[in-house]
Amino acid sequence: MCDESQLLPELVATARGFCHLIEDAEQAGADWLERVSCLLPRIHAAVVGLRRVAIDDAPQCLVPDYELRFGLFMRLHQRLGERDRYGLEFDALGTGPCALTGSLADDLTDIYFELRRGLDVLDHDPDRPERAVSVWRSGFLQHWGQHLVDAERHLYELEVAEYTSRMAGESN
């Protein structure tokens, strides 16, 4: 059984760290993506561990600000460059014009706005942290959880490709 008393502070701290990294992506150093990659599994573990929190008390969804989202997406897309696009796992055999792809910039943007929304709820009502957890859990199950899994998988593939390339270079 997970110790929820430890998971909530971990999720809040990790969500704040992730949001800060995303907000400062353009100024961050060369290890930016590695730092993002280290935070995602921690977010995943904490939000899954908080599954006993009721999600029926979640504040109503706000209409997303598409201009803000698109601006962040474009900044992340530029930062990621060729590392942004990836083939979706369920379409691994698709190589033609209909092959489905994902975008790490899109994944990180959606994760960012969902975590930011929960943090805003928590900052607005710090005496009721279960409301922020409810926002995170319901959003995770309805939407951003898939983005999280896709981002983790793509970052793993990038790490394996870098490792393989480094090993091939050392053997020459």
- 3-state SS of the chain is CCCHHHHHHHHHHHHHHHHHHHHCCCCCCCCHHHHHHHHHHHHHHHHHHCCCCCCCCCCCCCCCCHHHHHHHHHHHHHHHHHHCEEECHHHCCCCCCCCCEEEHHHHHHHHHHHHHHHHHHHHHCCCCHHHHHHHHHHHHHHHHHHHHHHHHHHHHHHHHHHHHHHHHHHHC
Would the pTM count as exceeding 0.85? yes
Instruction: Say if CB 105 and CB 73 are below 8 A apart.
Output: yes
What are the sequence ranges of the domains in the chain?
4-171
The pLDDT value recorded for residue 85 is: 95
The pLDDT value recorded for residue 15 is: 97
Short-list 152, 164, 117, CA closest to 42:
152
The pLDDT value recorded for residue 19 is: 98
Instruction: Say if CB 63 and CB 113 are below 8 A apart.
Output: no
Rounded average pLDDT per 10-residue block, the chain, 172 residues: 77 97 93 96 94 63 80 97 86 58 96 96 93 92 95 96 85 68
Rg of the chain over Cα atoms, rounded to whole angstroms, equals 17
Short-list 67, 62, 39, CA closest to 120:
62
What one-letter code names the amino acid at 108? L
**pLDDT per residue over 52-70, tens digit each?**
766 655 555 566 789 999 9
The pLDDT value recorded for residue 156 is: 96
The pLDDT value recorded for residue 57 is: 54
The pLDDT value recorded for residue 168 is: 84
The pLDDT value recorded for residue 13 is: 96
The pLDDT value recorded for residue 55 is: 64
What one-letter code names the amino acid at 82? E
User: Per CATH, the architecture of 4-171 is what?
Assistant: Up-down Bundle (1.20)
The pLDDT value recorded for residue 170 is: 76
